[in-house]
Amino acid sequence: MMWELIQSNRRKSLVLFFSMGLTLLLLGYFFGSAYYPDGGGFIGIFFALIIWGILSLISYFSGSKILLAVSGAKEVTKEVHPQLFNVVEEMKISAGLPAMPKVYIINEIAPNAFATGIKPENSAVAVTAGLLARLNRDELQGVVAHEVSHIVNRDVMFMTFAGIMLGSIVLISEVFLRSLWFSGGGRYSSKSSKSSGQGQMVIMIIAIAFAILAPILAQLLYFAISRKREYLADASAVRYTRYPEGLASALEKISDNSIELKTANKVTAPMYIVNPLKLKGQKLTDLSSTHPPISERVRILRNISSGANYIDYQNAFNKVKRGKVSLIPSSGLADQTTVGLKEETISPVSLGLNKQTQRETGDIMMKVNNYSFINCSCGLKIKIPPDFKKSELFCPRCGRKHSIQN
């Protein structure tokens, strides 16, 4: 059943993917023709394909590594954050992933998360320290489930390749426009004779218009792919966790935050669970937004009452949207077995206080960076940096002596 879902997801994406590819080819053709009217168009296509091919190869073999490095994510072991590890493992079981995803923590206060991995066998889940500090167990589970479903639904694969295509289009347009700027169009005026000048002029104008429009068009397509996938990932997350409220309240908590994620950019933005970039004055239903409005996602999740199957999510979606948009392919809806909802986990710690959240964030970041901790009996938690050489130290508050094992 899941496989058919992936298949239909793949088919839809391919259409969008090919329209982006067509844009890329047209771009190459017009730029080529603008410079060399005789057969230059095909040289242009050739170069466009080469640029795209090289970028795709790089992203296929080391895309996740680059993405993780760019976002400043660090791989962690279970000792650093047992709960995160457990939650990822639970979702691995629930989603039937063939291998345990690697777990990364990003040293950022802004709460967010993303998944990478073109193949499900070799994937990774990254969350920010701020997210870990703010969310309780059920909420964290919801977020991780959402990310894992991006891997299972092969969203990561398509977003990576679509992102690369977008990158190529932006790159080629930029190079063309700049070369025009520097050559001042001199090349075209010297090469073409007066008779073919007019036709050449038209092609030139088309090329310039294309150079300006194509990146925007490609971005809109990219975002369109991205938005639809967010709903499907939410639906899968509900199915995996069987607890819609977890993800709903996690999304609420995340959207409450006003800090922008420093390590995210326009191309990596759709990878995150919520848009990491805050655009000023952006309308919620704006075409250029990578994610559906959070309030709407939360409302859909809260409208799920009967069960955790895909059909329950689709029903809730229809109720909120007051329309019949087929969000989930019919193969996903054919399975009408009731998947029971889970009860709430009683979580031992709830971090409501802002100060406490910040302290917790700091602790997680320090753990990621190999700091060790000593709990002094006076109640002070002493944090020791990894390059601390001495074998003992005194508590700064009460003066007790502590020995350090290294």
Residues forming the site for other proteins (CB under 8 A): 82-83, 86-87, 89-90, 93-94, 96, 137, 141, 240, 339-340, 342, 345-346, 348-349
Between 62 and 345, whose beta carbon lies closer to other proteins? 345
Asked if residue 138 lies in contact with residue 345, where contact means CB atoms within 8 angstroms, the answer is yes
User: How far apart (Å, rounded) are the C-alpha atoms in residues 381 and 374?
Assistant: 6
Written as six digits, the tokens of 79 are 């000792």
Nearest-approach distance from CB 239 to other proteins, in angstroms: 10
Nearest-approach distance from CB 224 to other proteins, in angstroms: 33
Beta strand 102-106 pairing with 113-116: unpaired
Asked if residue 208 lies in contact with residue 188, where contact means CB atoms within 8 angstroms, the answer is no
Helical H segments across 242-392, by residue range:
244-255, 294-302, 310-321, 330-334, 354-368
Asked if residue 28 lies in contact with residue 45, where contact means CB atoms within 8 angstroms, the answer is yes
Written as six digits, the tokens of 119 are 């193949």
To the query of whether residue 252 is one of the catalytic residues in this protein, the response is no
Burial of 260 (0-12, 13-18, 19+ CB in 10 A): middle
Nearest Cα to Cα of residue 42 among 25, 56, 54, 22 = 25
Longest dimension (CA), the chain: 93
Between 305 and 345, whose beta carbon lies closer to other proteins? 345
Active-site option among 147, 230, 245, 360: 147
Which residue's entry shows tokens 């409005």?
293
Between 306 and 391, whose beta carbon lies closer to other proteins? 306
Burial of 230 (0-12, 13-18, 19+ CB in 10 A): buried
Between 170 and 382, whose beta carbon lies closer to other proteins? 382
Nearest-approach distance from CB 73 to other proteins, in angstroms: 23
Helical H segments across 137-193, by residue range:
137-152, 155-183, 186-191
Between 223 and 240, whose beta carbon lies closer to other proteins? 240
Interacting residues of 252 by C-beta distance below 8 A, sequence separation 6+? 294, 298
Asked if residue 113 lies in contact with residue 128, where contact means CB atoms within 8 angstroms, the answer is yes
Nearest-approach distance from CB 342 to other proteins, in angstroms: 8
Between 194 and 349, whose beta carbon lies closer to other proteins? 349
Written as six digits, the tokens of 266 are 């326009």
Between 90 and 252, whose beta carbon lies closer to other proteins? 90
Interacting residues of 281 by C-beta distance below 8 A, sequence separation 6+? none
Between 121 and 174, whose beta carbon lies closer to other proteins? 121
Nearest-approach distance from CB 351 to other proteins, in angstroms: 14
Nearest-approach distance from CB 225 to other proteins, in angstroms: 29
User: How far apart (Å, rounded) are the C-alpha atoms in residues 76 and 271?
Assistant: 20
Residue 249: how many other CB atoms lie within 10 Å = 18
Residue 336: how many other CB atoms lie within 10 Å = 10
Nearest-approach distance from CB 371 to other proteins, in angstroms: 17
User: How far apart (Å, rounded) are the C-alpha atoms in residues 34 and 185?
Assistant: 10
Nearest-approach distance from CB 275 to other proteins, in angstroms: 29
- Side chain identity at 115, as an amino acid letter? A
Active-site positions read 147
